[in-house]
Structure 1
Amino acid sequence: MYFTRDIEHQLNEALKQFPACLITGSRQSGKSTLLQHSLPNYRYVTLDNPIMRALAVEDPELFLSSYPSPLIIDEIQYAPNLLFYLKMRIDQNRQLRGQFVFTGSQTFQVMKGVSESLAGRIAIFQLYPFCWNEIVAMPGKPPNPLNDFEMGRQVVGGFYPEFFSQPNIDHNLWYSSFLNTYIERDVRNIKSITDLGRFQTFIRLLATRAGQLLNMAELAKECGISQPTVKDWLSILSSTYIIHILQPYHKNHTKRLVKSPKIFFVDTGLLCFLLGVDSAERFFKVSEKGHIFENMVVMEYIKRLSLQSGLSSCYFYRTASGVEVDLLVEAKGKLFAYEIKLAKTLSREMAQPLVLFCKDHQVAGAILLSLHEQTIPLAANIKARHWSLFSTEEI
């Protein structure tokens, strides 16, 4: 069963303006299904097929002659040299829009090839697992984000499309298989990692640090690897959309600010699997529940911002004295500040980080996101609202 994706409109508009489009995203995020459903008149080739991959690598001209445009090429990262030949094909008829659409699960190889070969010729999109906006639009009785238990169940279950098309699937088995396949196919293809068991340990250690400041020295010591290796492995996990690295906001030079990033998992289902959280009941009991909830809300904003055409960025804010704001969003030339609380009962003290931040920064909005369903004022120019409510002014 196919579920509508919010990116469809932007993709169709881009195909009217550019010769090519690229959709990057993690494996199983729905890239292939989206394109085959949205572009039924396009030929489709996947380089996951070893025969097709060999042809694309060994004889690019024959490959493109055998599969003329309009063409979808899935997992283009397996044949990065193909991009140079695609550039020549595009330049033969530069005014013809929508000739090629590519997908890639690894941004390392893909983005390097795109920047070198297809600059100015290609529109680039990111496709994440489902966001709540897509979930609530599904037919039947989708989970209600205003229902705390249904929200918790979804956070634990995850947002990958497979869980919605096959609701009876064993989530633990799926995530275990997903991790093993990811490590064997993607990690090996990016970099030669000899100790895959230690890499799995590294991922599990990251899960215990989700939503927290990342201490690379501590992580290296606990995992038994060097700090340069930590940086390499973080880069791999980020480029394959397993984690999102949220950088600190550094635009106030009068304050001593932390420089360490925060780590969030692109999918909370995978995060909960790694933490051993297997039900909504358990989610609300574990000590990590606040960090897991923050992870979900931060990724919801990142997913929605990825659909915007304008430049936008996400950060967090923390001073050396411990003043912290969970999420800052720069969008449409404005700065918005968010504090995230897994709480139904609110107090003015919860808004204090926002109050302190607003004293030193010009913000268009300062909002406490929580489980509280009503939108209420907490302090001057600071309000609280339910985490699932989004303002069109912000996003």
Structure 2
Amino acid sequence: MYIKRKLEKLVSMALEQFPVCLITGARQAGKSTMLKNLLKNYRYVSFDDPKARQMAIEDPKLFLLTNPPPVIIDEIQYAPEILSYIKMDVDANRRDYGRYVLTGSQIFQVMQGVTESLAGRVAIFNLYPLSFEEIDIDVFDDKLVFQSYLKGFYPEFYVNLKLDMSFWFSSYLATYIERDVRNITAVSDLSKFQTFINILATRAGQILNLSNISKECAISQPTCKSWLSILESTYIIYLLRPFHNNRKKRLIKSPKLYFVDTGLLCYLLGIDNTNRLLKASERGAIFENMIIMETIKRLSYQVGKTNCYFYRTGAGVEIDLIVEKTKTIPYEIKFTKTLSKNMARSINLFSKDHDIEKGYVLSLSGDDIFLYRNVLAMHWSKVLKGQE
């Protein structure tokens, strides 16, 4: 069973305008499956295949002759040497669009080669695990919603309904650490890296404190920064930057930490059923994590640039999510069915210093209620379709 992806439309558009298209995203997010279903007339080759990888590294011209366009090349990060030869082929056929479709699950390594070799010739997209819109469940059925973000959004769970969550995530992490982490950098103590990931899970939805994390994990701050970069570049975590009027400050202040997939987050926290989820002290943070990532997914599948931030002042005014596109929209996220005016206080204070039309409180409540003149409380699912 194939689940149609929201990104397909943008990829199809890009293939009519660019000679190369690059899809990045986490392992098992569905990149290869999407492309094989969308581009059935394309040749497919993966650098997970040692023979294909060896040929691309040792004799890139022969590799391209053996695998002529249109072609999908999977896991391009394992043989970045091929990119300069793809550039030469593209430049020789500049108006022949959709020649190469590349995928990569380690963005730092991929992007270095792409920016050096294919600037101006490539359209780049991120494919995240499935969204609520793609799995198509009743988002007003709280039980179904909790079950969905408990097991997460990797496509395999929705294709193989008998899959055991604990077994799958255990295998996923083991493979990820052995393959991707070792490939990116020399981590001398893989068990300590696993401990690092577990510690980060307890910090989901919180502002990163590198000093505390490095002390708890008994590693240096430079190592902590390096390991965070690995997790971000391989789409295990997502770092939400802070909002400031002074744009330079966005790069200086500490970000908030989220996990790209709530199923992996719940697994790391030892939450394996909905009863534990509802009793867990982290239930609000997991709900916030889910909505942040659902928003990121939705916006990433749209044309045009959109920026997402969180907001926090020294006085303690904090807003979970601010979306900037043609206008600035603040969101507060509350794991509750009972609304109160106090939930909108931060947005109301924010509106006094910033030009906004309206802000929103997202919760489990199905009622649309104005908590302030310019702050509307609504069901969290409305953000999935951009119904603000």
Same fold flag (TM > 0.5):
yes
- For residues 358 and 28 of structure 2, the distance between their equivalents in structure 1, rounded to whole angstroms, comes to 35
Partner of 1:131: 131
Q: How far apart are 1:69 and its partner, in Å?
A: 0.3
Structure 2 counterparts to residues 1-395 of structure 1, below 5 A: 1-136=1-136, 143-251=137-245, 259-331=253-325, 333-390=326-383
The answer to whether the 8 A contact 1:258-1:320 is kept is: no
Which amino acid letter does the alignment assign opposite residue 234 of structure 1?
L
Distance 1:101 1:90 in 2: 12
Q: Counterpart of 2:138 in structure 1: which amino acid?
A: N
Q: How much does 1:325 deviate?
A: 0.1
1:40 and 1:301 map into 2 onto residues whose CA distance is 30
SS in 1 for 2:41: coil
Tell me if the contact between 1:258 and 1:318 (Cα under 8 Å) persists in the aligned partners: no
Q: Is the 8 A contact 2:133 2:384 kept in 1?
A: no
CA contact (8 A) 1:31 1:127 kept: yes
Give, as a single letter, the amino acid of the residue that structure 2 aligns with 1:12: S
Check whether the contact 1:72–1:102 (CA below 8 A) recurs between aligned residues.
yes
SS at match of 1:315: strand
Match of 1:140 in 2: none
1:292 is displaced (CA, Å) by: 0.4
Q: Secondary structure at the match of 1:123?
A: strand
SS in structure 1 opposite 2:366? coil
Amino acid of the residue matched to residue 93 of structure 1?
N
SS for the counterpart of 1:264 is strand
Deviation, structure 1 residue 392: 6.2
Structure 2: gaps spanning 5 or more residues: none
Aligned partners of 1:107 and 1:239 also within 8 Å:
yes
SS in 1 for 2:359: strand
Maintained 8 Å contact 2:295/2:384: no
In the TM superposition, residue 29 of structure 1 has moved relative to its aligned partner by 0.1
TM-score, structure 2 normalization: 0.97
Residue 390 of structure 1, CA deviation: 2.8
**What are the Cα deviations for residues 268-300 of structure 1, in whole angstroms up to 9, with x where unaligned?**
000000000001111111000000000000000
Query: By how many angstroms is 1:78 displaced?
Result: 0.4
Cα distance between partner residues in 2 of 1:375 and 1:18: 43
Structure 1, gaps ≥5 residues long = 137-142
Q: Is the 8 A contact 2:43 2:69 kept in 1?
A: yes
Quick one: which amino acid aligns to residue 41 of structure 1? N
Give how far 1:252 is off.
Answer: 5.5
1:108 Cα deviation after fit? 1.0
Instruction: Find the residue that maps to 2:381 and give its secondary structure.
Output: coil
- What are the superposed Cα offsets for residues 134-153 of structure 1, whole Å, 9 maximum, x if unpaired? 111xxxxxx32111111111
Contact (CA 8 Å) 1:294, 1:341: kept in 2 or not? yes
Contact 2:131 2:297 in 1 (8 A): yes
TM-fit CA distance, 1:391: 7.7
**Is the contact between residue 341 and residue 368 of structure 1 (CA under 8 Å) also seen in structure 2?**
yes
Q: What percentage of residue pairs aligned between the two structures are identical?
A: 56
- 1:150 partner amino acid: L
State the SS of the aligned residue for 2:64. helix
CA distance in 2, matches of 1:334, 1:382: 15
TM-score scaled to structure 1, two decimals? 0.95
Q: Quick one: which amino acid aligns to residue 27 of structure 1?
A: R
Pairs aligned (count): 387
Change (3 A) 1:175 1:391: closer
Moved >3 Å (runs of 4+): 391-395
Distance 2:359 2:269 in 1: 32
Q: 1:391 to 1:82 in 2, by over 3 A?
A: closer
Contact 2:294–2:384 (CA under 8 A) maintained in structure 1: no
Query: What do residues 242-289 of structure 1 show as CA deviations (whole Å, max 9, x unaligned)?
Result: 000011112169x9x992211000000000000000011111110000
Confirm or deny: 8 A CA contact 2:53 2:78 kept in the other structure.
Answer: yes
CA contact (8 A) 1:70 1:99 kept: yes
Matching residue's letter, 1:387: W
CA deviation string 1:1-56 (max 9, x = no partner): 10100111111111011101000000000000000010000000000011111111
CA distance change for structure 1 residues 393 and 275 in 2, over 3 Å: closer, same or farther?
closer
> What amino acid does structure 2 have at the position aligned with 1:381?
N
Q: 1:315 to 1:147 in 2, by over 3 A?
A: same
Query: 3-state DSSP class of the match of 1:72?
Result: strand
Equivalent position amino acid for 2:80 in 1: P
